Structure 1
């Protein structure tokens, strides 16, 4: 059933959560615990994969574990496309996000099981990937649906909502990491599962009264003919996948390396298809095509940025575990070893601290603030610096060398400032440059920049295994800075192609 925006807004209590609709409090709570589960699980997932079976891990090779971390992130962003489509055409946002939350909880439950090994691990990854893809794009859509489009509270409502992301991301590695070091990996995963369980119970108890009709509509439902065609296409895709799996099994091509290359290929292929479908469409005007061309360097910059930023939980995650001095006795004369997972709380903490400062700085500059491409170049430049900085402590080190943890903290801090220059601006410019007929797809394209980056990272970890650490950090940091310079040089061209968009 379709409802007007006015009907949906009028169906919810307009106040009750810090001057905002009461439904925002429900969604805040759900997002907090979903992010608590996600970031808490992710904080120890890498170590669980490469730790020995005797220690409760899976005993995978470190390089394989790092590749899986990257592929996991890539697939989550890819499945957001499916989640958005299901909400628009089949279930509506509310039902889709609820199903997604159930799948996420099941995934965490599988991870918490102390038996099953690789089988339960793969099942958990499947559930969490699909579930997050269903929940992630739709919960934000429901937040927006709480407000009239002209309601001045909406922007601040999203600020409050996104605070729940960083709060969950900050707290969870501290709790889950401590449980993991004290009681084992499955105790940590159990905390993540319990967090998602709380989110589901809270949603079931309070969604109807506080969210009303918001997200209950299906904007573009499948008609009878489309449903038949969809079922037919789904059956064909399923049959093709089964045939390919059978062929892969009997030809010994069904390996992790092949799967990794397929996901990386999809990460590169999907954005190209999205872009070309918009650029070549008859619905896209000449001005809009010009703006799309200006978006290409920005998208490539975002891919390079996320390729570095996302290594904080993969490459740097392993580096923190094995090559960082976490024993506080030599440093501060305190008998305590900091769990490696604690370092995953640094980024969200720094985002909370730096975001108001960066926002104030841009506001202070006003019309003198740099153009969007310059902000992208600054963000990418800082990401490159964050990796070049790691060259200094890693020069000449061997596998037993432990560096001062402040190097990691400063590297993360520089990258976070770069993220605050690039990421919020990226979301905004994606909306501004989007052709009118493809506004939603443009946002999907922006999300795919992270999927592409993490697909590429799945292959870059191979370089980390054969290069010295200082060479690896210097190589990627140098590429990022070179690309930042190219974006800076291309700024006049991009500004012209943007056709009046700032």
Structure 2
């Protein structure tokens, strides 16, 4: 069987995984278990933060809990940027994924400790570990295909199924354990999932060939020592800033959330400026980065709305929906499994569609479709919120319909965005560009966490309708600029 993968990506005997390089199976399963741990914890995080002390929670207000959730998501994706740099310049993608998985597992085990401090300490470890794993495993997937192969989008869509298989199973397990038995037991289940992921990756490493084995642009000698000193200084400064906040009595949840939101936005601006002014990239690569900047803004706006599923919509599920079936009230977090199961169903269809359409539908147009559908999901959510005015509980089918629309939008944007990132990336910034793609999620989630504060004070129908219409209008604007963006992509489809 033939394949578009580079020769060194194929295992001996030419075995394939659904017609793709066998190495995709190892990366698929690693990502599946990492996402099990991430989405399992995420499904119950806001519910745990807002639960009363009597119910084992932290009794954090809804507004602050939404902001913490958004900022945590943002930090997970923000750290993908230095994680990509570590792979590119120091240890390679393969070892970055391994060590990232180990640190993530440690973070979940810390969260399983039944103490108030454990959740925030565990989240800090998960942030660091995910930064190492997340961008680099996607870089390794991209390395399995020729740069402009039409099968590339299909390969990423299959990889995306691994993400969502883990995301589907996780809330069912952690949600039941956390909401019905003990929150920390739910966090512990996420730890076990990540442990499986690490073991599977180690056992399947023989399938990977040379993919990710070496840094793309390694630092050597004095340059390496200088970089390590800078990292040490940066860590020291961060610790001193946090210590100063604590001494001044400003080390509060809201202060830290606001500080991290500002850092996320400033890092984004600075990083784009650095790439665009780098004299070592060619004129064509610079044009492609300008095209990518448009896609980045569209993606950030998409995630601002989409990732409120685990915060604002999760609280709506807990407080406003009738979840009793045959006398059993199922956990609100179970509704977090609706989105991934729909993606599992839709991803193969999307993969087939992209192969059939080839280059006839451009990447900017796919992004536009994603934005419009995402906005329409919030317009429908406004109708659900209106039906719940007065304290009535509405059918959970409202949320199922909202997630179905969002899934259609996600399949138009997210796997396509991963693929576009690997195609538009300057050679010098290969793994770091995957970090930059996840930085779009970080910006969206950081700003989205601040925006979600409004859900606690605005009338719910007004909140959903306002941001739903804004996303639809942005999508229509993307259609208008699609031709211009394609010209900037300089031959990349």
Paired residues of 1:274 and 1:441 also in contact (CA < 8 A): no
Does 2:197 match 1:177?
no
Which residue among 317, 323, 327 is the counterpart of 2:320?
323
The verdict on how the C-alpha distance between 1:141 and 1:280 changes in structure 2, with shifts beyond 3 A counting, is: closer
In 1, Cα distance between equivalents of 2:307 and 2:373: 14
In 1, Cα distance between equivalents of 2:137 and 2:366: 28
Task: Write out per-residue CA displacement over residues 196-227 of structure 1, whole angstroms, 9 at most, x where no aligned residue.
Answer: 222333444x2465556654434433322123
- In the TM superposition, 1:292-331 aligns within 5 A as 292-328=289-325
Shift of 1:486: 2.0
The verdict on how the C-alpha distance between 1:373 and 1:40 changes in structure 2, with shifts beyond 3 A counting, is: same
Number of the residue aligned with 1:331: none
In terms of mean alpha carbon deviation, does 278-287 or 43-52 score higher? Answer: 278-287
In 1, Cα distance between equivalents of 2:144 and 2:71: 34
Paired residues of 1:320 and 1:340 also in contact (CA < 8 A): yes
Paired residues of 1:46 and 1:69 also in contact (CA < 8 A): yes
**SS, match of residue 45 in structure 1:** helix
The verdict on how the C-alpha distance between 1:149 and 1:490 changes in structure 2, with shifts beyond 3 A counting, is: closer
Shift of 1:466: 1.6
The verdict on how the C-alpha distance between 1:415 and 1:243 changes in structure 2, with shifts beyond 3 A counting, is: same
**SS, match of residue 63 in structure 1:** helix
Number of the residue aligned with 2:467: 476
Does 2:247 match 1:244?
no
The verdict on how the C-alpha distance between 1:183 and 1:256 changes in structure 2, with shifts beyond 3 A counting, is: closer
Paired residues of 2:97 and 2:134 also in contact (CA < 8 A): yes
In 2, Cα distance between equivalents of 1:425 and 1:149: 14
Higher relative contact order, chain-length normalized (CA < 8 Å, sep 6+): 2
Paired residues of 1:12 and 1:22 also in contact (CA < 8 A): no
Number of the residue aligned with 1:430: 421
Structure 1 residue runs of 5 or longer lacking an equivalent are 329-333
In 1, Cα distance between equivalents of 2:283 and 2:228: 37
* Structure-2-length-normalised TM-score: 0.89
Number of the residue aligned with 1:407: 398
- TM-align CA RMSD: 3.1
Q: Which has the greater radius of gyration?
A: 1
- In the TM superposition, 1:76-95 aligns within 5 A as 76-95=76-95
**SS, match of residue 389 in structure 1:** helix
Paired residues of 2:101 and 2:133 also in contact (CA < 8 A): yes
Q: How many residue pairs were aligned?
A: 489
Shift of 1:52: 1.3
- In the TM superposition, 1:257-272 aligns within 5 A as 257-272=254-269
In 1, Cα distance between equivalents of 2:433 and 2:86: 17
Shift of 1:156: 6.3
Paired residues of 1:94 and 1:138 also in contact (CA < 8 A): yes
In 2, Cα distance between equivalents of 1:193 and 1:67: 24
The verdict on how the C-alpha distance between 1:252 and 1:198 changes in structure 2, with shifts beyond 3 A counting, is: same
- In the TM superposition, 1:458-497 aligns within 5 A as 458-497=449-488
Number of the residue aligned with 1:342: 334
Shift of 1:23: 5.1
Number of the residue aligned with 1:390: 381
Shift of 1:501: 4.2
In 2, Cα distance between equivalents of 1:415 and 1:453: 15
Number of the residue aligned with 2:253: 256
Shift of 1:285: 4.2
The verdict on how the C-alpha distance between 1:225 and 1:85 changes in structure 2, with shifts beyond 3 A counting, is: same
In 1, Cα distance between equivalents of 2:284 and 2:235: 40
In 1, Cα distance between equivalents of 2:147 and 2:288: 25
In terms of mean alpha carbon deviation, does 15-24 or 68-77 score higher? Answer: 15-24
Does 2:273 match 1:282?
no
In 2, Cα distance between equivalents of 1:207 and 1:501: 33
In 2, Cα distance between equivalents of 1:268 and 1:24: 33
Paired residues of 1:179 and 1:187 also in contact (CA < 8 A): yes
